[in-house]
Amino acid sequence: MPDSASPSSSSAEDGPRARVRFWGTRGTCASPGPRTVRYGGNTPCVEVRANGGPTLVLDAGTGIRALGQHLQSRLKATPVPDMPASNPGPQDQAIHLFLTHRHADHVMGLPHFAPLHSRSRSVHVRCGDGDCPTLTQFVSSLVSPPLFPYVDGLAGQLLVHEWPTGEVSVGTFRVHRFNANHPGGAAIIRVDDATGPIMAYAPDNELALHATQAEHVEWLAGLRDFLNGVPLLVHDAMYRPDELTRHAGWGHSSDMEAVQLAMDCGVQTLALFHHHPDRDDDAIERIVDEARHHLLERKSPLRTLAAWEGLTLSV
């Protein structure tokens, strides 16, 4: 597999509008080991970065630990002369973390996110499934005893914000949300810039494409509108098609449902995501082969891959 790829809606003259890097691609439970080395065993975390712009982090699964180390090393690589580390200044770079929801696989890496332990950073947190007072308590509990040892000064780096339905502006980005079909609620996140949509992220979402209830059909139509024309879609592909029936209502989709949705919405690149913890690397590669064969038969221009840790896509 290559280290990076370009889906992409950018032209060579303009350069990419943003880079999307995967730090954790596994769903439900971290699954490190020799059978998952190619696609990775860490749970969801995706970085979205514009040239010279803010850093967006989507979810705080165990993949966020390596992202935090990377962000801190990048700070050290560009020191500001005569600027003490305790004095926020030009090197102070805010990080905006958007949690799709609070299931354990999407938050369990947060206490180990190195920028939380740096006085030159501030980490702004929003969540797609809850109100602010509850979220503040929840985030504090993650980085406090008994789940985590007391660390002096940590709380000052965490800024919890409300995220009402609608959009949030972060630098050149506008971050939109749409309600996923997932037990307890979750957000589907779309990141736009002034040009339009850049990418959408739906790690936990039960499409149930064959369901016929009017409310569900209406929700699907709204989802297709929300995702229409997105260059890059990162979508839940937890199950194989033959596993769906016995997991109805569990809040996840099959790989082929994700492919169908991406085709319906005119997506350029689909990154299959939230891989089942029992799915080994060979099984994931067979899924990608099947999806590509399906698309070839239908003469679809959709490009499909399975996201792996370390993959960077330029849009």
Tell me which residues touch Zn ion (CB under 5 A).
27, 103, 105, 204
């280290």: which residue's tokens?
Answer: 3
The tally of CA atoms less than 13 A away on the side-chain side of residue 195 is 14
Whether 123 and 116 have beta carbons less than 8 Å apart is answered as: yes
Q: State the minimum distance, in angstroms, from the CB of residue 103 to Zn ion.
A: 3
Q: CA 126, 131, 136, 137 torsion: positive or negative?
A: negative
Which two structure tokens, joined as six digits, stand for 63? 């993949």
Q: Which is nearer to Zn ion, 118 or 181 (CB)?
A: 181
Whether 186 and 11 have beta carbons less than 8 Å apart is answered as: no
Q: Which is nearer to Zn ion, 192 or 204 (CB)?
A: 204
Q: State the minimum distance, in angstroms, from the CB of residue 28 to Zn ion.
A: 6
Q: Which is nearer to Zn ion, 100 or 120 (CB)?
A: 100
Q: Which is nearer to Zn ion, 105 or 255 (CB)?
A: 105
**Bridge partners of residue 272, in order along the sequence:** 235, 306
Which two structure tokens, joined as six digits, stand for 109? 């890496």
Q: State the minimum distance, in angstroms, from the CB of residue 10 to Zn ion.
A: 30
Q: State the minimum distance, in angstroms, from the CB of residue 246 to Zn ion.
A: 18
Q: State the minimum distance, in angstroms, from the CB of residue 287 to Zn ion.
A: 18
């102070």: which residue's tokens?
Answer: 92
Rounded to an integer, what distance in angstroms lies between the CA atom of residue 13 and that of residue 5? 17
Which two structure tokens, joined as six digits, stand for 193? 């810039």
Q: State the minimum distance, in angstroms, from the CB of residue 99 to Zn ion.
A: 11
**Bridge partners of residue 22, in order along the sequence:** 46
Which two structure tokens, joined as six digits, stand for 34? 């020799």
Q: Cβ contacts of residue 104 below 8 Å, gap of 6+? A: none
Q: Which is nearer to Zn ion, 28 or 120 (CB)?
A: 28
Q: State the minimum distance, in angstroms, from the CB of residue 2 to Zn ion.
A: 27
The tally of CA atoms less than 13 A away on the side-chain side of residue 32 is 4
Q: Which is nearer to Zn ion, 55 or 253 (CB)?
A: 253
Q: State the minimum distance, in angstroms, from the CB of residue 45 to Zn ion.
A: 11
The DSSP element (H or E) to which 75 belongs, if any, is helix 64-77
**Bridge partners of residue 273, in order along the sequence:** 236
Measured from each CB, the residue nearest to Zn ion is 103
Q: Which is nearer to Zn ion, 103 or 177 (CB)?
A: 103
Q: Which is nearer to Zn ion, 173 or 239 (CB)?
A: 239
DSSP state for residue 116 in the 8-state scheme = G
